[in-house]
Amino acid sequence: MAARLTFFPVGNGAMTLLELDSGRTVLIDTNIRANADDPKDATPNVAKQLKERLKRDSQDRLYVDALLLSHPDQDHCRGMQTHFHLGAPADFPNSSNKVFIREIWSSPMVFRRASKLHTLCDDAKAFNAEAKRRVKVFRGGTPLGDGDRILILGDDQDGKTEDLTAILVKADAVFSKVNGQADSTFSARLLAPHPKHQEETEEDISSKNHSSTILNISLASGGYQDAGRFLTGGDAEVAIWERLWERHKQHPDWLTYSVLETPHHCSWHTLSYDSWSELKEKAAVSESARKALSQTRAGAVVVANSAPIKNDDNDPPCIRAKREYEAIVASVNGSFVCVGEHPSEKNPEPLVLEVLSAGVRKVTPPVTTSALGLGAVGKQPMPHGG
């Protein structure tokens, strides 16, 4: 099968499913609003949409091979306790329709930087407790099986991850295992978070948006390695993207993407320190942050997982940010898509992008042979180089 990315219509939130060419699945964030479970409410039932796309294992459990929480804001983990099993595999309820998480990907710095000023929501606390349970299982020496596996993304402070080398990915490193298994159709570079930057203030450290996990994921498809890349960065704001550019401008390929999920739901503060509502067109763009987010492949697609974008004072999403992203992809014959407007504001549906050797294509679910003939969102060179 070809690699596929599904962006669910969750308003100003995030929930993205990666279906790898190998058949394995990776879910990044969840934002399942309570109203989405109410059949009388118009809120898209993204839990149902997700579960329809998942497979069942030999024990009849719906599952994802890996789940990443980019950072613990509620709009990135809402619905975690209701729709996912958190706890020992043996405690999975019989006949449950919850999703079984084979492996968790978690950054300790994401939770370390959640200060008293930013109290974690219940779903974030539950996810954090589950991550700690899995680390405890690993430290106990028991071989990790499905439902106990965890991958730690980035070092913790004060040497707290020194004994976790076997399940640790250091910043800037590349990993290519999913659920403990090598997967030749997938690799990901961990770009952030890093340990505390020398210029960071305590206020910076206390911001969960300052510590979002940033991955650049390479996807194989149809026999082509690195057929497409997906850059995802949670709610990382302008200072983080500036630092990434300064850190990697000598090897910008580390930031190159075929698909970008706009950080922080198309927020202006990913690209600028200035207030959009106060300064409007006088607000200045950070050239370094824009550079970091401009490393496009031919036909790149920029996706805003946000509410519909209006020409108003809102941020996020912000109309000026949308214009910047449209300008970024214009030079490579690319496209900008807002999930909250796909295919219409009144009836938003999951946005499905399929990574093929010839480019990234928008697919109308359910995926059928005829659907694959839809026009390309963008076209990439073949084969793809560095």
Q: How far apart are CA 111 and CA 89, in angstroms?
A: 24
Say if 308 falls within a structural domain.
Answer: yes
* Order of strands across the sheet that contains 16-19: 168-169, 149-153, 103-106, 66-68, 25-28, 16-19, 3-7, 351-356, 359-363, 376-379
Does residue 220 sit in helix, strand or coil? strand
Is 173 domain-assigned? Answer: yes
Residue 386 lies in a domain: no
324 is in which domain, residue-wise?
A: 3-379
Sheet strands (E) in 154-289: 168-169, 174-175, 177-178, 181-182, 186-192, 214-221, 224-232, 257-261
- What is the distance between the alpha carbons of residues 231 and 86, in angstroms, rounded to a whole number? 27
Rounded to whole angstroms, how far apart are CA atoms 156 and 295?
Answer: 29
Instruction: Tell me the C-alpha to C-alpha distance, in Å, between residue 367 and each of 132, 172, 220, 318.
Output: 38, 35, 19, 32
**Residue 86 one-letter amino acid:** L
In a domain, 385, yes or no: no
Q: Shortest CA distance to 297 belongs to which of 191, 379, 174?
A: 379
Q: Is 241 within a domain? A: yes
Question: What's the CATH code of the domain at 269?
Answer: 3.60.15.10
Residuewise pLDDT in 10s, the chain (386 residues): 789 999 999 999 999 999 999 999 999 999 998 776 666 677 899 999 999 999 999 999 999 999 999 999 999 999 999 999 999 999 999 989 999 999 999 998 877 755 445 688 999 999 999 999 999 999 999 889 999 999 999 998 878 888 999 999 999 999 999 999 999 999 999 999 987 654 455 444 444 445 799 999 999 998 899 999 999 999 999 999 999 999 999 999 999 999 999 999 999 999 999 999 999 999 999 999 999 999 999 999 999 999 999 999 999 999 999 999 999 999 999 999 999 999 999 999 999 999 998 889 999 755 433 333 334 444 333 333 33
pTM of the model: 0.91
Number of domains in the chain: 1
Residue 384 lies in a domain: no
